[in-house]
Amino acid sequence: MTSIFIKTFGCSHNVADSEELAYYLSNFGYTILGLENVTSHLSSSQSEYELELLKQADLIIYNTCTVKNPSDDKFFTLLKRTNKPVVLAGCIPQSQVADEWLKDYSAIGVDNLDLIVEVVEGTLKGDVVHRLKKRKSLDDRELPIIRRNSFVAIIPILQGCLGSCTYCKTKQARGHLKSYPKETIIKQIRKAKHEGVKEIWLVSEDNGAYGKDIDSSLPDLLRNISYTVLNSDIMVRVGMLNPEYAFEYKIELAEIIKQDCFYKFLHIPIQCANDSVLKDMNRPYTTSQFKESFSYLREKIPDITLATDIICGFPTESPEQFLDTLNYVKEEKFTVINISKFYPRPKTPAARMKLLPTHEVKRRSKELSDWFSGVNFNEPYVGQTLSVLFTEKGNVDGSFIGKTNNYRNVIVKSKKDILGMRFNVKIHSTTRDDLRGEIVN
């Protein structure tokens, strides 16, 4: 049995794509190594376990991410060290289709995951096979998958976006918005429900743009999803949507995610809090719009958990404009902040701008990271008893990770396997990233 190891970099969309690749390959008779360990992190540090799998594998699929320079660097470092047949997937080959180096490697495009078997077959025969052509629509894609975690369904709802952010390379890979038909997504949800899934993640480059190309919308899709999971104990994570859609849909979103089946959690990447820099980033919203969205959502759902992304050191950002962002973030108290340094990405407008000195970019992201690592917005939960759904094993033996209804991480110890189950947990301590406690019943 030929065995294949899929190494995944980047976002949850890439993890969903790896699950789909695994489905076609195992369905054809290949052995998939270590799928359960697919974790979406940018680490090139290969665990002992991973190194063992790499030794065992007859072929390796690198499902790549191109969002930042380090993601490219880590991938190319691994590629150089790889002495096995390789297939490249994800955003690096898809955004560099015409590049000379790619002629030496087999590659599959983000629209063509269902063609993976013919790419692998050809590669094992020693051929270089490319299936990188973009598709006009995704109507014929069924999204079959093998879940890395049998309790969590990661469901892509679209490919690409409607944005043209000046710093972004992802757009060159994922392209212009193509929404999956609502029926395809609902069919996936029904299948997940039938298979005992407890948590559903909706993923893409911008969930807010859903349906803009097929006469639907994110609220419309979410209403259909809530009908489908009604009376089940499934929890849905709406995921990431851009601020312009949070502003457009704030009233409907507040109404919809109030329902029990939705986590009270939204990830809304503002990137910065200065209108002039937002303009230079070509982000189609203003600071007053997202401030209005956040205060409305907090008013309607007081315990909502809000996550955001911040880019520090965009070329045109002055020290004063960075302070606007820093002061605003301190005021808004986001529970999760993904902090990035600006990186000039190839073939992007921002890469042609006059760059700030690297030390200044580092200083700004350090100032924000230092502040954020010193806060803990979970403290108020100490002493409370919360209802928690457990779907992941912890890093320490006998520990499990669950989510509260507002998507806070909760870590407990348990002698018995509690995956897929919900318990009340008495919280006795917290860190910035999680709550710790005892199961009470």
User: Which one, 199 or 206, has the nearer CB to ligand SF4?
Assistant: 206
Q: Which of 170, 207, 287, 365 binds ligand SF4 (CB under 6 A)?
A: 170
Q: Min. distance of Cβ 177 from ligand SF4 in angstroms?
A: 9
Task: Determine if 17 is a binding residue for ligand SF4 (CB under 6 A).
Answer: no
Instruction: List the one residue out of 85, 87, 81, 44 whose CA is nearest residue 63.
Output: 87
Q: Min. distance of Cβ 333 from ligand SF4 in angstroms?
A: 24
Instruction: List the one residue out of 354, 279, 342 whose CA is nearest residue 310.
Output: 342
Tokens of residue 160, six digits: 């690409």
Q: Are 15 and 42 in contact (CB under 8 A)?
A: no
Residues 246-305 that bind ligand SF4 (CB under 6 A): none
User: Which one, 161 or 222, has the nearer CB to ligand SF4?
Assistant: 161
Q: Min. distance of Cβ 95 from ligand SF4 in angstroms?
A: 11
Q: Which of 90, 109, 163, 402 binds ligand SF4 (CB under 6 A)?
A: 163
d(CA 232, CA 226): 10
Tokens of residue 66, six digits: 């191109």
Task: Determine if 171 is a binding residue for ligand SF4 (CB under 6 A).
Answer: yes
d(CA 32, CA 22): 6
Q: Which among 110-118, 159-167, 192-200, 410-418 is the span making contact with ligand SF4, rule CB under 6 A? A: 159-167
Q: Min. distance of Cβ 399 from ligand SF4 in angstroms?
A: 35
Q: Are 333 and 377 in contact (CB under 8 A)?
A: yes
d(CA 231, CA 285): 37
Task: Determine if 348 is a binding residue for ligand SF4 (CB under 6 A).
Answer: no
Element (DSSP H or E) covering residue 250: helix 243-257
Beta bridge partners of 411: 401, 436
Tokens of residue 280, six digits: 């230079």
Q: Which of 161, 386, 410, 418 binds ligand SF4 (CB under 6 A)?
A: 161
Longest Cα–Cα distance of the chain, Å, equals: 61
Q: Which of 86, 92, 145, 168 binds ligand SF4 (CB under 6 A)?
A: 168
User: Which one, 164 or 376, has the nearer CB to ligand SF4?
Assistant: 164
- Work out the angle at residue 299's Cα, subtended by the Cα atoms of residues 296 and 300, and round it to the nearest 5 degrees: 90
The contact mask relative to ligand SF4 for 187-206 (x = CB under 6 A, - = no) is ------------------xx
User: Which one, 96 or 242, has the nearer CB to ligand SF4?
Assistant: 242
Using alpha carbons, list the distances in angstroms from residue 209 to 109, 159, 220.
22, 10, 12
User: Which one, 207 or 409, has the nearer CB to ligand SF4?
Assistant: 207
**Which residues make up the interface to ligand SF4 (CB under 6 A)?**
161, 163-165, 168, 170-171, 205-206, 242
